[in-house]
Structure 1
Amino acid sequence: MSEEQKGIREGIEESEGDPRLILLMNGLLSGVFALTVVWGLDRIGIAGFTAPNVATLALIIFAATYLVVLR
């Protein structure tokens, strides 16, 4: 073996990842964060804890994260 093996750091730095997995993780984490925020807003009486409120905030967070991180 004349060629040196790459270490973990080099492998991670060269890896681009699967975009579908990144989008899935973004969607799941955005949904959990939106659920938590809307629940908190409901507890202090600012917004109702409803599915449309959670979905709207999750979409906003997802889009913002996508634009900032992936593009």
Structure 2
Amino acid sequence: MATDGDIRVLIAIDLVLSAVFSTLVVRGLSLVGSLAFSWLTVGFATLLLALVTYLAVLR
């Protein structure tokens, strides 16, 4: 019988992967001149992506 796993581990992995992806996206957008790179922007993008992922997949 399979278990769903510990929700704390799933949320931690979600936050780490969201942070990496958000950093790459914000850095890429700053390279093409669409967005200025800042860690605050990366943080907001990470929280938004983690929330969307949680609502779409984990809930």
Gaps of 5+ in 1: 1-10
**2:43 is equivalent to residue 55 of structure 1:** yes
Higher relative contact order (CA 8 A, sep 6+): 2
TM-score, normalised to structure 1, is 0.79
Looking at structure 1, the residues matched to 4 and 41 of structure 2 have their Cα atoms a distance apart, in angstroms, of 33
Counterpart of 1:46, as a letter, is S
Deviation at 1:43, TM superposition (A): 0.3
- Residue of structure 1 equivalent to 2:21: 33
| Percent pairwise identity | 36
Root mean square deviation, CA, Å: 0.8
User: TM-score scaled by structure 2?
Assistant: 0.95
Number of the residue aligned with 2:5: 17
Q: In the alignment, what sits opposite 1:42? A: 30
